[in-house]
């Protein structure tokens, strides 16, 4: 760090993204991207003509994209805000709803970015331990006075909380915001979006990075009451008014409108997930019940760090978090069937030598 770094910046806790190697062709099962390309409609939307228009700013209101999202979820555009990835939306939410005396609570084992955001905004963070079986019990958040953030399904466990539990939490304390991060909801969990009509303290965030094959497009969004969305826009217009670029606005709307393609991708992931769980269980792995496009698993025979390193040597990248409670586990993204078959074969080879 330089001698110019502010004390505030020295206290940050930057998030470490999964590896994005440039040196070698890996089977990349480490950052929960889709193995499928974006919808063909996305390719049509991002035309040469549109690239030529990049000399113009993008629409700061994201009108076309927000309307497409609103239509998909049966809401109005006033219930939608789009961001440069849902990471940006989460930052807007932390800034909008948290502050002095109003911290953020999230699970001890969850998406690492919440921790980074809390540090960025100097918030008090309460890390609520998941139970022994890695389940999240909403009672554990009952008395917290600040904003609650729940990834549902959770990452990296893949486990989901029933919507009825979230409803209980929303009703238990209508005076605080509950953010439900549904980055992985499309792969088989129940969405909280239907609760929005009844609960003004609910903010649902989603992303096009996983189920809509647009991780590189950086498009995330939040759904909530008109008032909550106005609060988020207040932060957005204080930070980066043109936060979604022209091409992503078009790509996102096209992806949102291609329901059939979206469904067939999600179905393929669910099928490949079932296949992979069975293949790994047959090989002696324990796999947590996953509603996401990844699984969290441990081998009875190889420690997590060892498994990660050996798979990498064999050209397969998975994610390992060398962290208490989950040291034995690796997180494996569900890819195409061919990729999962290659994983199973590689595991056989590693275990034969273990
Ligand atoms: C991937 C992910 C996100 C955000 O992804 P973006 O690419 O920024 O939209 C948010 N929450 C969780 C839990 C995630 O895993």
* Model pLDDT for residues 304-351, shown as the tens digit of each residue: 999 999 999 999 999 999 999 999 999 999 999 999 999 999 999 999
How far, in Å, from the CA of 227 to the mean position of ligand 1?
A: 24
Could you tell me if 277 and 107 are in contact, meaning their C-beta atoms sit under 8 angstroms apart? no
| Cα 42 from Cα 212, distance rounded (Å) | 10
Q: Is the pTM of this model over 0.95?
A: yes
Q: Percent of the chain having pLDDT more than 70?
A: 100
Return the structure tokens found at 13.
């806790």
Could you tell me if 167 and 126 are in contact, meaning their C-beta atoms sit under 8 angstroms apart? no
157 SS3 class: coil
Any ligand 1 atom below 6 A from CB of 150:
no
pLDDT at 230 over 80: yes
In the predicted model, what is the mean pLDDT of residues 176-199?
98
Any ligand 1 atom below 6 A from CB of 34:
no
Closest residue (by CA) to atom 6 of ligand 1? Answer: 85
Relative to the CA of 110, which ligand 1 atom is closest?
A: 13
**Position 17 confidence tier, pLDDT thresholds 50, 70, 90:** confident
Relative to the CA of 86, which ligand 1 atom is closest?
A: 9
Helical segments of 283-313, H only: 304-313
Does an H or E element contain 89, and which?
A: helix 86-97
Q: Percent of the chain having pLDDT more than 90?
A: 93
DSSP letter assigned to residue 142: T
pLDDT of residue 354: 66
């Amino acid at each position: 760090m330089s001698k110019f770094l502010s004390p505030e910046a020295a206290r940050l806790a930057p998030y470490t993204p999964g590896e994005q190697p440039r040196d070698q062709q890996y089977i990349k099962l480490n950052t929960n991207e889709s193995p499928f390309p974006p919808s063909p409609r996305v390719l049509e939307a991002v035309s040469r003509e549109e690239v030529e228009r990049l000399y113009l700013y993008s629409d700061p209101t994201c009108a076309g994209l927000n309307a497409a999202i609103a239509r998909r979820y049966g809401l109005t555009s006033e219930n939608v805000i789009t961001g440069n990835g849902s990471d940006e939306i989460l930052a807007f939410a932390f800034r909008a709803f948290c502050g002095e005396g109003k911290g953020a609570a999230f699970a001890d084992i969850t998406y690492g970015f919440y921790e980074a955001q809390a540090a960025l905004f100097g918030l008090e963070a309460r890390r609520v331990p998941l139970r022994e079986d890695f389940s999240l019990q909403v009672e554990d958040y009952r008395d917290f006075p600040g904003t609650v953030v729940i990834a549902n399904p959770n990452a990296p466990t893949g486990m989901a909380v029933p919507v009825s539990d979230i409803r209980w939490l929303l009703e238990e304390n209508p005076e605080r915001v509950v953010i439900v991060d549904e980055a992985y909801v499309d792969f088989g969990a129940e969405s909280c979006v239907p609760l929005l009509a009844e609960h003004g303290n609910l903010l649902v965030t989603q992303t096009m990075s996983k189920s809509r094959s647009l991780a590189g497009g950086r498009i995330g969004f939040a759904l909530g009451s008109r008032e909550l969305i106005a609060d988020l826009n207040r932060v957005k217009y204080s930070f980066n008014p043109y936060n979604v670029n022209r091409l992503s606005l078009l790509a996102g709307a096209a992806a949102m409108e291609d329901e059939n393609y979206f469904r067939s991708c999600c179905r393929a992931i669910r099928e490949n997930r079932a296949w992979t769980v069975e293949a790994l269980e047959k090989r002696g792995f324990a796999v947590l019940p996953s509603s996401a496009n990844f699984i969290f698993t441990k081998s009875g025979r190889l420690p997590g760090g060892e498994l990660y390193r050996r798979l990498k040597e064999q050209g397969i990248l998975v994610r390992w978090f060398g962290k208490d409670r989950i040291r034995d586990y690796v997180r494996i993204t569900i890819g195409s069937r061919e990729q999962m078959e290659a994983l199973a074969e590689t595991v056989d080879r590693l275990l034969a030598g273990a």
